[in-house]
Amino acid sequence: MTMRVAVAGGTGLTGRHVVAELERAGHEPVVLSRAAGVDLTDGSGLDAALAAADAIVDVTNIATQKRSTAVDFFGTVGRTLLSGAERAKVRRIVSLSIIGIDDVDSGYYEGKRVQEDVLRNGSVPWTILRAAQFHEFTDQVLGFVPGPVAVVPKMLSQPIAVREVAAALVARLDDSGSAMATEIAGPKPEFQPDLARRLLRARGSRRLVLPVRMPGEAGKAMVGGALLPKHEFVQGVQTFDEWLAERTRV
């Protein structure tokens, strides 16, 4: 069945892939963004954008580790989307979250927990899909601290291709009821400093990688595998090295 699907965060990394997957599946994507006249922090333009929408895919994001900023953003946007969905009688909200957020007490992850709770307490049927870090996360980490030394957190994750996550989100539009989807992660666990070294080497960069354990219990959990899938999960196909070869191919 063809659906009209609103994509919150549709101009971002994940959102662009979600839009492409929706079009590939024969659905009609509607991008919710400021550029399209929709402000998800105050709701302006949302009702018009959700007119006749069957579902919402929420892949909104903010680049911050500040707890108050993350909680405010994800809470505000989550409540705005939920209220709009209730008014428009949208049949489902599919939301992207992250593996391990219950076990790593970072500011950003608290924001994601708030986002999940907003959906759970709403009246619109929902699906939450927790995914591992994307392959692109390594590039983001290398940009945190510029200069000749790259400060990289000591952490284990199981990176996955963003397009595979986008496809999984679109597949969840046919769910019934409200539930956590089976988690999705990449082919194998990786150590973040190793990924950083491989990416820099592929670029011909001489930057040194300085592995640093994040402070407190959060850092301990990240090193100990809290961001890895713990139970049954959907295993992605593309490895980090395959993604890297794709990115650096001339």
* Tokens standing for residue 106: 């970072």
Which CATH number goes with the domain that contains 96?
3.40.50.720
Is 60 exceeded by the pLDDT of residue 183?
Answer: yes
Residue 94 pLDDT class (50, 70, 90 cuts): very high
Residue 248 pLDDT class (50, 70, 90 cuts): confident
pLDDT at 117: 98
* Cα(82)–Cα(92) distance, integer angstroms: 10
> Average model confidence (pLDDT) for the chain?
96
* Cα(69)–Cα(87) distance, integer angstroms: 27
Instruction: Record the pTM.
Output: 0.95
What are the helix (H) ranges across 104-239?
107-120, 137-142, 162-171, 192-203, 216-223
Question: CB-based contacts of 146: which residues, under 8 Å, 6+ apart?
Answer: none
Is 70 exceeded by the pLDDT of residue 250?
Answer: no
CB 44 within 8 A of CB 77: no
Q: What's the distance, CA 103 to chain centroid?
A: 17
Burial of 22 (0-12, 13-18, 19+ CB in 10 A): buried
Backbone angles phi, psi at 133, to 5 degrees: -60, 145
Number of domains in the chain: 1
Q: What's the distance, CA 56 to chain centroid?
A: 15
pLDDT at 144: 86
Range of the domain at 19: 4-248
Q: What is the pLDDT of residues 120-164, one digit of tens each?
A: 999 999 999 999 999 999 999 999 888 999 999 999 999 999 999
Find the Cα–Cα–Cα–Cα dihedral 193, 111, 8, 131, rounded to 10°: 40
Is 80 exceeded by the pLDDT of residue 249?
Answer: no
